[in-house]
Amino acid sequence: MRLLVFFAVISFISLSPVSADNTTVTEASTTPATKSALAAKSLLLDIAKISKDKVVAVGQHGHILLSSDGESWQQANVPVQATLTSVYFLNDRLGWAVGHDATILHSQDGGLNWHVQLYLPELEKPLLGIHFKNELEGIAVGAYGQFFRSNDGGKSWQSEFHQEFLLADDVDYINDLKAEDEEAYLDEIAFILPHFNGLVQDGRSLFLMGETGLLAKSNDFGKSWQKFNSFYQGSFFSVARTQNGKLLVVGLRGHVFRGINNGQQWQEVPTGTTALLNDIVFADDGRIFILGNNGMLLISDDDGETFTQRTQHDGKPLIAGLWFKGKLLAVSDVGIKVLVLPKT
């Protein structure tokens, strides 16, 4: 049993603006994605709901695909060929997608056309998650603790360095370095933080999950973070709250943890697998699915207390998924898959 450890944090944040203006990103300088016959059958990395009747999936080569039935997919107009890792829609019009080369794309027409808000290939780092709480305020996170914030719907993005995620030893080291050598300091902070793997909104709270057992919660939209006391050394890839109000977090090597009392206590849920677990999906009927690599599908019908394995035969990684019109859709390296489920 471990208690939550709260960090007072605001002072740790250093801000620096990054915007389309000072990095001179114009769409003319990027190569638009090409429409390809196999786009829906090749590596896709995230899938999200745009509306009750429409879903969007993103993946390699700047592929963004739209579908209203989960079977036929239409490719959107995308100005980049970067591999896109995550997509989020605020409503049926406004959506954002992020990916490698620190790319942020935005659509205002329900995903048909996209334009570049941020594109910084020279950073050599991918963005892995994005979230907007309203039409103006949004956060994008990524590898090596990248953290971008916008207050104008993505027109401009400011980079934030969240020092609270540094290890205790590193804090001193960084502070010393900052005093001695500004340049070395800047080099160091570019890669010192753990990867931020994604953002999940849960009511008023925002969850951040990442490398080396990173799981944190913010009640002020990411300005300050409360880290949960470490209960696992590996990476987390998704977090969600069950119907009964329990937290569920999944990560490396088949690890699933169930948080009781808002995460004051964590129990490991045995899964019987060592596959990397990517995503958590809730069905309308209360079942919980966990999607993993090597075709691993875990199913729970007791609010995540126990899971049974339902490995998909082809062994393809199930990278992200959602419940859509009574079906479990998943994306993998062979594109969209409609998963076969046992009868309930």
Question: What are the residues binding other proteins (CB under 8 A)?
Answer: 34, 36-38, 42-43, 45, 60-61, 81, 83, 85-86, 100-101, 121, 124, 126, 128, 197, 233-235, 237, 252-253, 274, 276, 278, 293-294, 315, 317, 319, 332-333
- Smallest distance, other proteins to C-beta of residue 61, A: 6
- Smallest distance, other proteins to C-beta of residue 253, A: 7
Cβ-contact 110, 94 below 8 angstroms: no
CA-to-CA distance for 266 and 332, rounded, in angstroms? 30
Question: Could you tell me which residues are beta bridge partners of residue 47?
Answer: 57
- Smallest distance, other proteins to C-beta of residue 165, A: 18
> What is the residue type of 61?
H
* Residue (197 or 312) nearer to other proteins, CB: 197
Our measurement of the distance from residue 47's CA atom to the centroid of its chain's CA atoms, rounded to an integer in Å, reads 11
- Smallest distance, other proteins to C-beta of residue 243, A: 28
* Residue (126 or 259) nearer to other proteins, CB: 126
* Residue (234 or 286) nearer to other proteins, CB: 234
Residue 277: C-alpha distances to residues 93, 146, 234 (Å): 31, 22, 11
* Residue (225 or 237) nearer to other proteins, CB: 237
* Residue (60 or 107) nearer to other proteins, CB: 60
- Smallest distance, other proteins to C-beta of residue 169, A: 18
Cα–Cα nearest to 214, from 240, 251, 242, 247: 251
- Smallest distance, other proteins to C-beta of residue 210, A: 11
* Residue (60 or 224) nearer to other proteins, CB: 60
CA-to-CA distance for 1 and 266, rounded, in angstroms? 7
Cβ-count burial 204-223 (b if 16+ within 10 Å, e if not):
eebbbbbbebbbbbbeebbe
* Residue (241 or 255) nearer to other proteins, CB: 255
Provide DSSP, 135-194: SS-EEEEEGGGEEEEESSTTSEEEEEEEGGGS-HHHHHHHHHHHHH-HHHHHHHHTT-SP
- Residue whose structure tokens are 């050394």: 233
- Smallest distance, other proteins to C-beta of residue 63, A: 10
CA-to-CA distance for 156 and 118, rounded, in angstroms? 8
- Smallest distance, other proteins to C-beta of residue 222, A: 21
* Residue (94 or 277) nearer to other proteins, CB: 277
- Smallest distance, other proteins to C-beta of residue 234, A: 5
Cα–Cα nearest to 62, from 108, 121, 17, 21: 121
Name the packing angle between helices 182-189 and 168-180 (round to 10°): 150
* Residue (54 or 61) nearer to other proteins, CB: 61
